[in-house]
Amino acid sequence: MPSSPTAVSAPGKVLLAGGYLVLDRQYTGLVFGLSARINVVAQEIRTSQGVQLSEVVVDSPQFLEAQWRYGYHLAPGNGGFKLTQLQVGSNQINANPFVEITLAYALTYIVAAAHLKSSHVFAPVRLTVLADNDYYSQPHSSPSSSPSHHHHRFAKFPTKLKDAHKTGLGSSAALVTALTAALLTHYLPASAFDLTSATGRRVLHNLAQAAHCAAQGKVGSGFDVAAAVYGSCVYRRFSPSILTGLPEAGAPGFAPALAECVASAAWDVEVAKEGTVVRMPPGVALRMCDVDCGSQTVGMVKQVLRWREADGDAARALWDDLQARNEALGAVLSSGDEPKEADIAAAVARVRELVRNMGVASGVPIEPESQSALLDALRDGVDGVFEGVVPGAGGFDALALLVRDDEATEARIKEFLQSWSREKGGSVRLLGVKGEMEGVRREGLEQYDGWLS
């Protein structure tokens, strides 16, 4: 009997406090999950009897020409799975390293974890990826052309995936996590992998971190994958050395090395969760503002780290001070009593001040002047906006606002942003997404009606 489809979703993230600091194990980051999720539905591909297909198809039906097909075989010398991208119709092959590497890691882990000797355990699978609309800036050209889609949870975009403007909510980490979780859940029995158990989440976290780092070509701090798995948390990064000995996917010895790495006790990541540490107080919402011009964070990070090395003691003092202010913000948000709006505003303002100081000292526009002006104007001019930050590494990605959680405040923010966009020339809009505590989860299939072929 073909198994029924498996659906999972993983949230995006916002690093509310701890940009740059989160790269160093001595410091932590205050990470919030977001209600915008990347959904992956795994379905068996039915083949005619006697036909042995070794194929994985990944569809992203919201975009044009977004299908990736892979054949796979076990590589010699315990190398796990090698994937070969197949041509789709007459389209030229366009590589998607995040998808390809994640598939290789997940399939390899499944075979290693289940001690399987051949690849025939895998019935061919189709993976359908559906991203909540807030991951992408909507096309501005013709908002009225298809109003029905705009109210829809998954819009169809008139572009190829590579041409879509991202809003910076952590789509690659959510995709890697959701793909990995869907494959593990689909192929392994519940006794070997249970997404809802602490052990299952640890396996998923470690495997997704390894795959995401390999796909990025570098070891990042990993807070985005942690948020995708665990949701909102206080995050302390893992030591990068955990991943240094891992051979490339398909290279001899990759399969046992990956299985050992995922199970290793050397994972020193800390994810503080227990509801008390990270939450939005009642009546307060975390909202995001899309400024639609994202920044290249890689160069910014290098420059900040160079400053930190050159400016030793002064930099350390600033980071220690900023860590304390970040922790104080977390404490205000999660204090048992309802925090006063003024307390939240003051705690965020104290964080912002030092982030700006760090920007000045390092010569990196972590909170660019145009973003400062917008944040100040929102805080001072809109009732119900307490304060906001340029989250993560800063620059021109979406802004994070702490606001009163009611419709009147939302309406005032939208109105304000419309007139701001008109005056300043540009497009700033409030995203529908809100802070959400929950991480990866199984989903019911009914919400994907019409998208699954």
Could you tell me the pLDDT band of residue 169, with boundaries at 50, 70 and 90?
A: confident
- Cβ-contact 204, 180 below 8 angstroms: yes
- pLDDT tens-digit profile of 100-116? 999 999 999 998 877 66
- Cβ-contact 62, 450 below 8 angstroms: no
How many Å apart are CA 175 and CA 313, to the nearest integer? 39
- pLDDT tens-digit profile of 211-260? 999 999 989 899 999 999 999 999 999 999 999 989 999 999 999 999 99
Q: Which pLDDT belongs to residue 146?
A: 40
Spell out the domains of the chain, with CATH numbers in brackets: 6-141+150-275+443-448 (3.30.230.10), 284-436 (3.30.70.890)
- pLDDT tens-digit profile of 308-345? 999 999 999 999 999 999 999 999 998 767 778 999 99
Indicate whether this model's pTM tops 0.85. yes
In sequence order, the 6+-apart residues with CB closer than 8 A to the CB of 398 are 14, 167, 168, 169, 288, 289, 290, 291, 391, 431
- pLDDT tens-digit profile of 420-444? 999 988 889 999 999 988 999 999 9
pLDDT mean over 44-62: 76
Q: Which pLDDT belongs to residue 207?
A: 98
Could you tell me the pLDDT band of residue 151, with boundaries at 50, 70 and 90?
A: very low
How many C-beta neighbours within 10 Å does residue 309 have? Answer: 8
Could you tell me the pLDDT band of residue 294, with boundaries at 50, 70 and 90?
A: low
Could you tell me the pLDDT band of residue 150, with boundaries at 50, 70 and 90?
A: very low
Could you tell me the pLDDT band of residue 2, with boundaries at 50, 70 and 90?
A: very low
Q: What percent of the chain has pLDDT over 90?
A: 61
Question: Quick check: helix, strand or coil at residue 114?
Answer: coil
pLDDT mean over 169-174: 85
How many Å apart are CA 269 and CA 262, to the nearest integer? 13
pLDDT mean over 54-67: 85
Provide the residue type at 337 as one letter. Answer: D
For the chain, the average pLDDT equals 87
